[in-house]
Amino acid sequence: MSFLDRFRPVGAPGAAATAVPAADRHGPEDELAPVFAALAPAVRAAEDAVAAAEKSAADARDQARVSAAAIVERAHADAAEARARAALEVESAAAETDRRVVDEAQVEADRIDAAAAQARSEAVDRVMRRLRDGLLEEPETTETAS
pLDDT digits (tens, 9 = 90+) for 82-121: 999 999 999 999 999 999 999 999 999 999 999 999 999 9
- Count of residues in the chain: 146
- Say what the alpha-carbon torsion angle 84, 86, 92, 97 is, to the nearest 10 degrees: -140
Domain boundaries, the chain: 24-132
d(CA 34, CA 119): 125
Report, as an integer, the average pLDDT of 12-28.
Answer: 58
pLDDT digits (tens, 9 = 90+) for 22-78: 555 667 788 888 889 999 999 999 999 999 999 999 999 999 999 999 999 999 999
